[in-house]
Amino acid sequence: MKSKNIFLVMIGVFLLTVLGACGGDNESSNAQGAWKENANLDAEESMDDLYEKAKEEGELVVYAQSSATEQTVNSFKEEYPDINVSVTKVSSVDMLEKIRLENEGDVQGADVVVGKDSNGFWKNELLDNHMLHSYHPNHIADNLISPYDQYKGLPIITEVITVMYNSDANDNPPIESWWDLTTPEWQGRVTMKNPLEAADIQDLFLTMIQHSDEMEADYEETFGEKLELNGTENAGYEFVKRLLDNDVVLMSSMGDSVDAVASSTSSEPPIVIASSVKLRDVESDGLPIQMVHDITPKVSVPGTTSAFIIDGTPNVNSAKLFIQWIAGGDDGTGAGFTPFNNPGTFSTREDIEQDFDVPGLEQLDLWEEDVDYYYQNVNELRDFLIQTL
Amino acid sequence: MSENSEQNGRKSSNKIKNLLRNFFTNPVYIISFLIIALLSIAIVYPLIKIAINTFQWSARDFIPSAVPGEFTLYHWITTITGEISSSLLYQPMANTLAIGASVSVLALTLGAVLAWLVTRTDIPFKKTLGFMMILPYMFPSWFKAFVWLIIFKNDRVGGSPGLIQYLFSVGPPDWLSYGFVPIVLTLTSHYYVFSYLLVGAALSTISSSLEESANILGASKLQTMKRITFPLVLPAILSAFILIISKSLGSFGVPAFLGLPVRYYTMSTMIYSSIGSGRPTEGYILSIILIVLAALIIYFNQKMISKKNYETIGGKDSKAKLITLGKWKKFAMTGAVGFVFIVSVLPVVLLLWQTLMLKDGDYSLSNMTLHYWIGDSNPDIANGYSGVFKNSTILSALKNSVIIALTASVLAAMAGLIIGYIVTRSRKMFSSKLIDQLSFLPYLIPGIALSAIYLSMSTTKILFLPVLYGTLTILILITVVKELPFATRAGTSTMIQIGGELEEAAKVSGASWFKRFFRIMLPLSKSGLFTGFIIVFISAMKELDLIIMLVTPSTNTLTAATFGLQEQGYPQIANASVAIIIFIIVVVYLVTTIFGKTDISKGIGGGK
């Protein structure tokens, strides 16, 4: 036996120990049932009551996708100085992994999550597996517009992925149908975030695929002829293919794509497929950008930001209070909603007034979100996108 | 018979005892063992974990017969032979290899020529030039892609016109604005620094007596270069090659910025897009293929390096004699200054200017403000974000960044030196080869993939280690692991140059291993240690992809904060943060240079 061999044996033994120890040891969580009972998520509690109870609790940590949630912290701290709260910005997909892994590792990373489901992952993998919980106090939920009152979690705002244009170069919306974007006129002049990396754009495409009959009818209406499929499955996929084949300019950030259109000095500026929330950023900088309010067959599908309570939080009263706060409080006038109240960001409550150039949520002709459909069909769309891009 | 076997048994048990004693008394064995143990937990285990993952059905496959967790070859088959394989794998792979090869050739040549100019010729302003040439590496690489677009952007992506289009009213063609050419040039302007540093190191440690002897023996300058200088710097060139090619194979920010507008994908952007869109399995498979590709390249490189082996430091060294450039001086100087201006000065000027613009994109003087630096919160500007020096979130993130970068780079530099020692001193041992290969592996794992794995590891207990999630420790650990290849390269190329005879002399005089290491090897490799430190520090301060998934509110770093600010559309505050990052890197670099009494721009091992 040479020393090299002893060495090898020792390493081998060590590796086996490591791998063995790392192997899955999943302990069942009996604690969960007890937590949920104590959390009492169905109770109707006023914000004042919650504040009293929350004073005893530790620091509240919120995972959020939007900067608006970060900004709401200031007013929250003013109103409830005895509660320590901090917000971390996490992207939708990272959030999914974080919450899942923290749950599996029994780490309470945060207490509340505020954000948009992407491709139905949150609903199907977090909510259905009790890693997240809905909190739906009636005195707030009763004010929700249909169909948002039926949502899981408490909807705060919603937004739409749609077409936006440079309003200096165009007096009127430059397109009427989604299919217009596939014509030679818009070749190389449509810009968007790379859909492979934008779950919200994927969700819009999936909705078009789900409603391919409407897409097909709209094609006939727009061009006066029957739609011929070029090897695609249906009119939804055909639209996506023709759009991308029309030399769409892809960008790595949605904000950049909107800025590009807004700040274009060309006489024939590009138009952009992006989220309506970007109207806020551009408008605050005084840049000329408008959203097309009326597109056939439908303007878009909403992407709704909701608040959930993360399983096992020891700060359940603070969590409830914070969710009620950002929802705008009892009557929607609370300062917690103010950072969300922007053009292009639509309140899901009927008692919140939004006085902007953009029409309200109920005036927009929208498809309905179907997160289960997204979840089951996103793989197929992804494969299709990879081949088409 | 029985007596005989008893004797044999006693003999062999004695033998094993001896071997074990030898094992436990020879620090090289113990250290090798410890290193391999650590690398196994930190690198091998995560890799095995992703590998296993690619052979299992996942809950997201939606194939009726699929049972999550069960064995399947489905993912591999789809990726390699499926309908999407060309777009998913082969095209990005071809692009990646083309970029890797081009960047390596350009960056190696550029870096070597510049290193030669600065270390071996009488070009003036060496110190300044040397420093300016390292500067580009201190900028985040995505930032250079941004500068490229400011200059070369055509109207394809809309927005304000690029400088060329603005001046000549004609936009540059797409191939110059986006895709392969700009990606290669931008990456080259970043990674030539590796070749510059490593080749510079080798050049400045070559005792000029070797070249002088060649001259005395009648060799021409060209012959000397070819027969003496080049072979001596070859190990450095090969080391630099490894760093450059693996870095460019795995680079994400630049191809994402410059490739997307013309749909030019590389393997890293494909991996990112797969993992980022919730289907990590494809991403992991691509990662494994990328790792194998890079491993093959390194394998052949390793074969070459083990054939070439020179020891050139033998205690005191005589000062290298400089080559007179003569009439070429002006030409060389113009070229060097022009180059430095483009890659080092211009980007900084643009960056600083942007932090002073009240309204982004307006370059007029009346638009200038210090608000984003020192302003108090003003609800009318940037949603009430206060200037970077008044902003507690940014200041605490800054503190975290500095703690992480300092700790990680000290640890990595030490580890790199020890590994370098082991690898060079017992090169023929299997364990040394293993350590060498293992310590290089993290480089091949794309940051985003490593981050995802570490996230899952850090939320569970492994052996005796506590749950590390949410601590600075996990951020330091992942940084050390990811930067280990750098530190190891620096350590190895330093150790390779230190002659064994010094240590042997000490050994003969009865010095213990520890004494030898700390009294001889460490002092001689001081500048190598500092080089390892500063290289890791620079990377760690800029690191984003690697840690973005692991930070929590209390462990937020400045880069993560910058990323958030950029995303939310506060480019001035974000750029001010980038400026702080660059400033800290430059200061630490200068302090290291002075404190280490060595100018690493002259190269590793040049200090006396």
B84-122+138-313 has the same fold as B28-53+391-608: yes
A133 and A194 in a common domain: no
Cβ-proximal residues to B473 (8 Å cutoff; 6+ apart), any chain: none
Cβ-proximal residues to B9 (8 Å cutoff; 6+ apart), any chain: none
Residue A26: predicted pLDDT: 42
Nearest to B22 among A3, A22, A102 (CB): A3
Window from A74-78, A158-162, B315-319 with minimum mean pLDDT: B315-319
Contact residues on chain A for B45, CB-CB shorter than 8 A: 18-19, 22
Contact B83 A118 (CB under 8 A): no
Residues of chain B below pLDDT 70: 1-12, 22-25, 157-161, 206-208, 276-278, 305-321, 360-363, 378-384, 448, 459-465, 566-569, 597-608
C-beta of residue B400 within 8 angstroms of C-beta of residue B472: yes
Examine the pLDDT at A388 and tell me if it is beyond 50: yes
In a domain, A26, yes or no: no
A307 and A297 in a common domain: no
Nearest to B456 among A101, A194, A197 (CB): A101
Which tops the pLDDT comparison, B155 or A299? Answer: A299
- Amino acid at the residue B38: L
Nearest to A188 among B41, B44, B156 (CB): B156
In a domain, A12, yes or no: no
- Give the closest-approach CA distance of A376 to chain B in angstroms: 7
In a domain, A262, yes or no: yes
Count the neighbouring beta carbons within 10 Å of the beta carbon of residue B210.
16
Taking every pair of Cα atoms in chain B, the longest distance, rounded to a whole number of angstroms, is 103
A186, A205, A383, best to mutate vs chain B, most B CBs in 10 Å: A383
Q: Which domain holds residue A201?
A: 161-301+376-388
Residue B96: predicted pLDDT: 93
In a 3-state reduction of DSSP, which class is residue A327? coil
pTM (predicted TM-score): 0.78
Q: Where are the domains of chain B?
A: 28-53+391-608, 84-122+138-313
Contact A88 B552 (CB under 8 A): yes
DSSP E strand boundaries for B419-571: none
Task: Find residue A191's DSSP bridge partners.
Answer: A249, A272
A338 and A212 in a common domain: no
Task: Specify the CATH number of the domain B28-53+391-608.
Answer: 1.10.3720.10
Residue of A nearest to B61 (CA): A379
Window from A96-110, A162-176, B175-189, B352-366 with minimum mean pLDDT: B352-366
A-B C-beta contacts closer than 8 Å: 180
In a domain, A22, yes or no: no
In a 3-state reduction of DSSP, which class is residue A230? coil
A380 and A247 in a common domain: yes
In a domain, A16, yes or no: no
For residue B206, what are its two tokens? 């070559």
- Mean pLDDT, rounded, of chain A: 86
DSSP string over B222-281: HHHIIIIIHHHHHHHHHHHHHHHHHHHHH--HHHHHHHGGGT---HHHHHHHHHHTT-HH
Examine the pLDDT at A225 and tell me if it is beyond 90: yes
C-beta of residue A109 within 8 angstroms of C-beta of residue A15: no
Residue B606: predicted pLDDT: 30
Residue B60: predicted pLDDT: 76
Which tops the pLDDT comparison, A281 or B100? Answer: B100
Q: What is the pLDDT of residues A247-261, one digit of tens each?
A: 898 887 788 888 888
Q: What is the pLDDT of residues A111-120, one digit of tens each?
A: 999 999 888 9
CA–CA separation, B154 and A97 (whole Å): 38
Residue A313: predicted pLDDT: 92
Residue B605: predicted pLDDT: 31
Residue of B nearest to A13 (CA): B37
In a domain, A28, yes or no: no
Contact residues on chain B for A67, CB-CB shorter than 8 A: 383, 564, 568
A201 and A259 in a common domain: yes
In a domain, A4, yes or no: no
Q: What is the pLDDT of residues B487-504, one digit of tens each?
A: 887 788 778 777 777 778
A277 and A212 in a common domain: yes
Contact B88 A7 (CB under 8 A): no
A215 and A170 in a common domain: yes
A307 and A291 in a common domain: no
Query: How deeply is A68 buried, as exposed, middle or buried, from its count of CB atoms within 10 A (0-12, 13-18, 19+)?
Result: buried
| Enclosing H/E stretch for A163 | strand A154-166
Residue A367: predicted pLDDT: 96
In a domain, A288, yes or no: yes
B157, B266, B279, best to mutate vs chain A, most A CBs in 10 Å: B157
Contact residues on chain B for A192, CB-CB shorter than 8 A: none
Contact A11 B33 (CB under 8 A): yes
ipTM: 0.73
B50, B166, B260, best to mutate vs chain A, most A CBs in 10 Å: B260
Residue of B nearest to A15 (CA): B40
A167 and A216 in a common domain: yes
The highest-level CATH class for domain B84-122+138-313 is mainly alpha
- Give the closest-approach CA distance of A350 to chain B in angstroms: 26
Residue of A nearest to B432 (CA): A4
CA–CA separation, B598 and B320 (whole Å): 16
Q: Report how many domains make up chain A.
A: 2
Contact B159 A15 (CB under 8 A): no
Contact residues on chain B for A188, CB-CB shorter than 8 A: 156
Residue of A nearest to B62 (CA): A376
Q: Closest Cα partner for B42 from B360, B378, B435?
A: B435
Contact A270 B158 (CB under 8 A): yes
A266 and A195 in a common domain: yes
Q: What is the pLDDT of residues A333-377, one digit of tens each?
A: 888 999 898 888 999 998 888 888 788 888 899 999 999 999 999
CA–CA separation, B112 and B100 (whole Å): 18
Residue A346: predicted pLDDT: 93
Examine the pLDDT at A25 and tell me if it is beyond 50: no
A362 and A240 in a common domain: no
CATH code assigned at A326? 3.40.190.10
Which tops the pLDDT comparison, B437 or A129? Answer: A129
Residue of B nearest to A95 (CA): B549
Nearest to A260 among B23, B158, B260 (CB): B158
A185: left (phi over 0), alpha (psi -120 to 50) or beta: alpha
Cβ-proximal residues to A29 (8 Å cutoff; 6+ apart), any chain: A106
Residue B458: predicted pLDDT: 75
Which tops the pLDDT comparison, A138 or B383? Answer: A138
